[in-house]
A and B are shown apart, each in its own frame.
Chain A
């Protein structure tokens, strides 16, 4: 369970609020977050695994404060970035997955085996020795996901994981994410995908302005954007 208790974030240099004090309890299996560019979605997402820390209030994951227990929280919460290149640390696919297994599998041979199995599972079985730079954007995102999953998180937070992908890869990665047997919090610009959830948050100007049913959330968001563009309600 993810819990925000009056969590607020300000820009470190200017003190401008990025996220106004926010309180939430997130325990649904599928939660999506939508909102305009710069509205504060990533900040909200990064608060969950302690990549961002609140200047006020707290964020708790299974009761653990992200400020005090950052690394334990990150072991529970896998994080998928928009740009998979950012997430991939090692030069080849196999080495990158093995990196996620370093803590849990001590023997190197076992680690190679487990990493190969993980690559196989996600459909990159023949890419183990391929340089990360030689993979397509979609393949990289799959590899990033394989790395996240092999670390056996109980929650996955994905920050626009499909924004950079073409339609086919978008569908593929989206389907994989939604088939996960663990809690998923997904930030997305894909409004159709956003409705495949039990609950949707709409973020605007650093605040959660709608929280509830996904279809209503998308309608609310469309209306909000329309009003901002045209200056009047649709």
Chain B
């Protein structure tokens, strides 16, 4: 399964930019997007964002599907503003959403996960007294890991609802998705615990002894 926004090797200008520059650029882009509220500028910024996304050559189908989704969300948000009588606000919001989504995907597609994790860890370094340095990167990684898992749970719940003829009931989708997502979170917690991750947070790190295990023989 190709997940939208996962890293793809490439040689576009964005690929060659350091991760820090891209993340700072993303933040700056967000601020600029918020500042300009006139429809023409907003649309221009959004168009530039889409071009930037195309420049990193993201995987075609997941991107098209993801964009379709965000365009629908943007259209709904815009429709609400128009209904409230604020036409320009509607265009601004829709353009901002599409633009920011495109730039975020462009950044995550062109930056290896490891670099983003290191960056997250570095960003939290000033708080290392309160938050152990390993934790922010770990949190970020778990989030990335959880997204496809939750998507799978959602798809399975939808299939189950369909198989039982209750596909129109939102509860039939939402309740199993919610409970199973919590279940996944609890399981992941048990795994973190079993693998001794986060123990550093609560105890003094014991200097590791390098006991090397005889390697298991593969049995092909």
Let me know if A57 is at the binding interface, CB within 8 A.
no
Residue in A90, A99, A134 with the greatest tally of chain B CB atoms within 10 Å: A90
Given known pairs A123-B220, A134-B1, the reply for A89 and B203 (CB within 8 Å) is no
Decide if B188 touches A89 in the complex (CB within 8 Å): yes
- List 13 A–B pairs whose Cβ atoms lie within 8 Å, in order of A's numbering: A79-B195, A87-B194, A87-B195, A92-B113, A99-B195, A103-B200, A122-B218, A123-B218, A133-B1, A133-B148, A133-B152, A152-B213, A176-B218
One of B23-31, B51-59, B139-147 at the interface: B139-147
Decide if B145 touches A132 in the complex (CB within 8 Å): yes
Decide if B191 touches A81 in the complex (CB within 8 Å): yes
Let me know if A229 is at the binding interface, CB within 8 A.
no
B 20-41 binary contact with A (CB < 8 Å = 1; else 0):
0000000000000000000000
Which residues of chain A are within 8 angstroms of B205 by Cβ–Cβ distance?
Answer: 103
Chain B contact patch, size range: 35 or more
A132 to B145, CA, bound (A): 8
Which residues of chain B are within 8 angstroms of A88 by Cβ–Cβ distance?
Answer: 145, 191
Q: Which B residue's beta carbon lies closest to that of A75?
A: B196
Hey, which bits of chain B sit against chain A, CB under 8 A?
Answer: 1, 3, 6, 113-114, 134, 138, 141-142, 144-145, 148-149, 152, 184, 187-188, 190-197, 199-200, 202-203, 205-206, 208-220
A180 to B3, CA, bound (A): 36
Within 8 A of B (CB), among A155-187: 172, 175-176, 179-182
